[in-house]
């Protein structure tokens, strides 16, 4: 019996006791499970595209809540959902290390594609953009953001390299040396999430003659991110321009000097060759066998007047 009892205890310890064999109210014994897999950094940086609120984000349009003051219940729900998606994206970006955003952003994306139908392929993706900063405007954070440490937002307008149309990126932090205001001169690069193709009201009057207060609407890719990097300034580029011109001028002077030297060298050699040829001709030419000259020179023109 002792042997049988020991065998039962050992067997139960090895295979576990089934739930039906446990006494009522007893704490369930843990079962063997696979270890939880930690997500990779690349997975951590991605947005959750299964978020239900994305369905209310109207692409290629203004924000829902900015369309009308008076909205019905459906529009109000969509406006709140769009704001939740907006907050979710900014919070997600704010919590990411800057180095991780730089590492896993999509590089060499043609920004011009983000204005056309193909832009839907890049929605909610982390994209890298470089260009010239033009305007920075401070904005009040939405209600849900201060609780996670985002006290203020900054709307930044950037002209991507080689383009005359700007993009907008909203960030929660400004880099050192950048303050809100117009006439910005920084060359910048940012890694942010492409939220939507946004319709916005510009400062340009739509028809000054009819209604000067009515402004023209444009569209621009809207990015949501954490911050951006400063890569220099346009004033530095302008200051370096005279140096470049001086360098080009010096190079031209050198090229002209080389051309003159080459020309002189070949002309000098040509003169030497001609002199040697003339000397050889003179040494071979004699006048001993030359015929006697005629009575007078042949002058057809003079004959006509005799």
How far apart CA 191 and CA 144 sit, in angstroms, is 23
pTM: predicted TM-score of the whole model, two decimal places: 0.68
Residues 265-293, mean pLDDT to the nearest whole number: 53
Q: What is the DSSP string of 155-173?
A: EEEEEETT-SS-EEEEES-
Please, which pLDDT band fits residue 298 given cuts at 50, 70 and 90? very low
Residues 71-92, mean pLDDT to the nearest whole number: 92
| Residue 197, burial from CB neighbour count under 10 angstroms (0-12, 13-18, 19+) | buried
pLDDT at residue 70, as a whole number = 59
How far apart CA 228 and CA 155 sit, in angstroms, is 12
pLDDT digits (tens, 9 = 90+) for 245-260: 445 444 454 454 555 4
**Mean pLDDT over all residues of the chain?**
79
Please, which pLDDT band fits residue 179 given cuts at 50, 70 and 90? very high
- Which residues are CB-neighbours of 57 under 8 A, at least 6 positions away? 81, 82, 85, 195, 196
How far apart CA 279 and CA 157 sit, in angstroms, is 80
- pLDDT(46) > 90: yes
How far apart CA 225 and CA 167 sit, in angstroms, is 13
Residue of 26 and 51 predicted with greater confidence: 51
Alpha-helical (H) ranges within the chain are 2-15, 41-45, 73-94, 98-104, 234-284, 300-303
The three-class DSSP label of residue 228 is strand
Residue 294 to residues 38, 126, 207, 303, 305, Cα–Cα distance (Å): 118, 103, 99, 15, 20
Domain regions of the chain by residue span: 43-236
pLDDT digits (tens, 9 = 90+) for 100-135: 999 999 999 999 999 999 999 999 999 999 999 999
How far apart CA 115 and CA 218 sit, in angstroms, is 11
């Amino acid at each position: 019996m002792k042997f049988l009892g020991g065998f039962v205890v050992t067997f139960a310890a090895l295979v576990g006791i089934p739930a039906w064999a446990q006494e009522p109210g007893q704490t369930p014994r843990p079962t063997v499970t696979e270890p939880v897999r930690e997500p990779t950094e690349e997975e951590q940086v991605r947005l959750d595209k299964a978020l239900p609120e994305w369905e209310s984000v109207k692409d290629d349009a203004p924000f829902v809540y900015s369309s009308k003051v008076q909205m019905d219940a459906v529009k109000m729900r969509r406006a709140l959902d769009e704001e939740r998606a907006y907050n979710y994206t900014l919070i997600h970006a704010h919590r990411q290390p800057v180095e991780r955003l730089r590492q896993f952003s999509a590089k060499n994306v043609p920004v011009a594609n983000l204005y056309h139908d193909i832009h839907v392929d890049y929605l909610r993706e982390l994209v890298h953009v470089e260009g010239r900063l033009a305007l920075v405007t401070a904005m009040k954070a939405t209600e849900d953001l201060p609780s996670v440490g985002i006290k203020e937002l900054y709307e930044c307008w950037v002209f991507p390299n080689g383009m005359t149309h700007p993009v907008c990126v909203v960030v929660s932090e400004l880099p050192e040396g950048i303050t809100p205001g117009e006439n910005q001169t920084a060359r910048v690069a940012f890694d942010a999430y492409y939220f939507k193709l946004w319709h916005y009201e510009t400062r340009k009057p739509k028809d000054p003659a009819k209604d000067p207060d009515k402004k023209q609407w444009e569209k621009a890719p809207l990015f949501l991110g954490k911050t951006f990097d400063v890569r220099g300034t346009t004033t530095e580029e302008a200051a370096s321009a005279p140096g470049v011109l001086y360098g080009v001028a010096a190079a031209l002077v050198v090229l002209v000097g080389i051309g003159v030297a080459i020309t002189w060298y070949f002309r000098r050699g040509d003169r030497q060759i001609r002199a040697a040829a003339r000397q050889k001709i003179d040494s071979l030419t004699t006048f001993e066998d030359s015929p006697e000259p005629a009575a007078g020179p042949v002058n057809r023109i003079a004959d006509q007047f005799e």
